[in-house]
Amino acid sequence: MNCPHAAAHQATPGGGAVVIDPMVQDLDGETARLRDAGPLARIELLGVPAWTVTRHAEARQLLVDPRLVKDLDAWGLWQSGAVTHAWPLIGMIDAGRSMFTVDGEEHRRLRTKISQAITPRRLEAIRPDIEKFTEELLDALAEQGKDGVVDLKSVFAQPLPMRVVGMLMGVDEAEYPMLTKKYKAFFSMLTPQEERLALLAELDVFYAALVRKKTAQPTDDLTSALILADEGGEPLTEEEVVGNLKAMVAAGHETTIGLILNAVRALLAHPDQLRMVLDGEIPWETVIEETLRWDTPTTHLLMRFATEDIQVGDQVIAKGEGVVISYRVIGRDVEQHGVDADAFDITRPTPIRHMTFGHGPHICPGAALSRVEAGIALPALFDRFPGLTLAVPDEELRKLPVMTQNDMESFPVLLNG
């Protein structure tokens, strides 16, 4: 850790902090420890202290509180120099100017552009493309798995959302492997910080070139729509379009990878529930919502900062302190979801009221797209391979060393049991 002295700048009220494991060796155990720590828990992120929200009700309250902002300059540890660009997670926060890093009127201005670009009509228009991509990848899966074990992640769950978001952005298909590789390295805790910062600079150059190309020759894609959008105030600058694209590609494909794999894993671990889905007793939409609640694609969302003291129950988030939203813990909140919140159960009462895609002004703009992709991919996968099984015991599946995303190293399967 490059700034171990940071902890000295903030006290740890109520006892020791829960240390968030960068290697993600025991996500269920970490989730339980955070839930037991209370609605507002003190955590340590690679030597840097923060608060995290672990309850549904408190998260709903804080996610609409204007005293919590995305502005990095409101963070006391950043102002004091205790946290610098040497901290491995800074790229999640200091990610350039976009709708993800501003608040208030500026956030509304930038988000309006996204809303113009990702509409229900556009999602319906690209549905045939998603179905086509899905069938092509299932063909590849069948070919590679005909003689035995095949990795469902690398052949199917990972390339599908990258193809979709790449198509939406107007990125050449030849660039998809490069983007996949760069984002994987960016998120991994095994990547040296100097390399991670260089990756961010390379992505800025890539997206800036894309924006200039689309400015000169607009086409029917999201990048051109962001450039040409004419509602909601001043047009976006090149920096703002680049920031939006960089973050949306990251969030768009990573979230859907996790959603697809976590749903498959949950169903294979609960064959009685899988049978109910395949028999048509439970709709796939319910599977998707229960997966989003139970095993969220995003574990911890970084970070908001208090512009003044904020009382939460009997605790106080002091001005300048950072706040993380721990969506996986929130999804296991027994006060919201019942005493069986730790159980995957597609028969629980619907609608399943989770907040995995956020709440309030910064709610995820790509939530509908992720649901559409999973709603096409999952039934198509099990329709083609109803005998799909894990090729290793479930406990041998390993999480990637990523502190913010809930992703697996690989997902080896046998297509026909």
List, for residues 243-271, the tens digit of each pLDDT value.
Answer: 999 988 988 899 999 999 999 999 999 99
What's the pLDDT at 3? Answer: 42
If you count them, how many residues does the chain have? Answer: 417
What is the DSSP code string of 192-260? Answer: -HHHHHHHHHHHHHHHHHHHHHHHHS--SSHHHHHHH--SSSSPPPHHHHHHHHHHHHHHHHHHHHHHH
Side by side, which strands form the sheet with 412-414? 150-151, 412-414, 389-390
Which tens digits make up the pLDDT trace of 291-340?
Answer: 999 999 999 999 999 999 999 999 999 999 999 999 999 999 999 999 99
Q: Span 401-405, mean pLDDT?
A: 95
The proportion of the chain whose per-residue pLDDT surpasses 90, expressed as a percent, equals: 83
What's the pLDDT at 400? Answer: 96
Q: In terms of DSSP bridges, do strands 412-414 and 150-151 run parallel, antiparallel, or are they unpaired?
A: antiparallel
41 φ/ψ angles, rounded to the nearest 5 degrees: -115, 145
Q: Span 216-220, mean pLDDT?
A: 93
Q: In terms of DSSP bridges, do strands 301-306 and 150-151 run parallel, antiparallel, or are they unpaired?
A: unpaired
Q: Span 274-296, mean pLDDT?
A: 98
Q: Span 34-42, mean pLDDT?
A: 97
Tokens of 210: 């894309």
Q: Span 112-140, mean pLDDT?
A: 89
Which of 142, 143, 199 has its CA nearest to residue 387?
142
Q: Span 385-399, mean pLDDT?
A: 97
363 φ/ψ angles, rounded to the nearest 5 degrees: -55, 145
Q: How far apart are CA 301 and CA 307, in angstroms?
A: 19
What's the pLDDT at 158? Answer: 98
pLDDT at 14 exceeding the cut of 70: no
Q: Poorest-confidence range of 89-93, 349-353, 378-382? A: 349-353
Q: Judge whether 45 and 322 are in contact, CB under 8 Å.
A: no
Tokens of 290: 């229960």
What's the pLDDT at 225? Answer: 84
Q: How far apart are CA 172 and CA 299, in angstroms?
A: 31
Confidence tier at 122 by pLDDT (50, 70, 90): confident
Give bridge partners of residue 358 from the DSSP assignment: none
Q: Poorest-confidence range of 36-50, 99-113, 389-403? A: 99-113
pLDDT at 1 exceeding the cut of 50: no
Which of 358, 345, 152, 350 has its CA nearest to residue 255?
358
- 30-to-54, 175, 318, 326, 338 alpha-carbon distances in Å: 12, 36, 25, 11, 20
Which of 84, 80, 88, 77 has its CA nearest to residue 1?
88
127 or 1: which carries more pLDDT confidence? 127
Q: Span 134-162, mean pLDDT?
A: 97
Which of 91, 124, 410, 378 has its CA nearest to residue 250?
91
- Average per-residue pLDDT in the chain? 93
Confidence tier at 143 by pLDDT (50, 70, 90): very high
Q: How far apart are CA 115 and CA 109, in angstroms?
A: 10
Query: 356 Cβ partners below 8 Å, 6+ apart?
Result: 292, 293, 296, 297, 298, 327, 331
What is the DSSP code string of 32-55? Answer: HHHHHT-SEEEEEETTEEEEEE-S
The burial class, CB within 10 Å (0-12 / 13-18 / 19+), for 321 is buried
Q: Span 267-276, mean pLDDT?
A: 98
Which of 182, 176, 183 has its CA nearest to residue 160?
176
Q: How far apart are CA 313 and CA 402, in angstroms?
A: 31
Query: 136 Cβ partners below 8 Å, 6+ apart?
Result: none
Q: How far apart are CA 161 and CA 339, in angstroms?
A: 34
pLDDT at 13 exceeding the cut of 60: no
* Whether the bond into 351 is cis, omega within 30 of 0: yes
What's the pLDDT at 8? Answer: 33
pLDDT at 9 exceeding the cut of 50: no
Confidence tier at 4 by pLDDT (50, 70, 90): very low
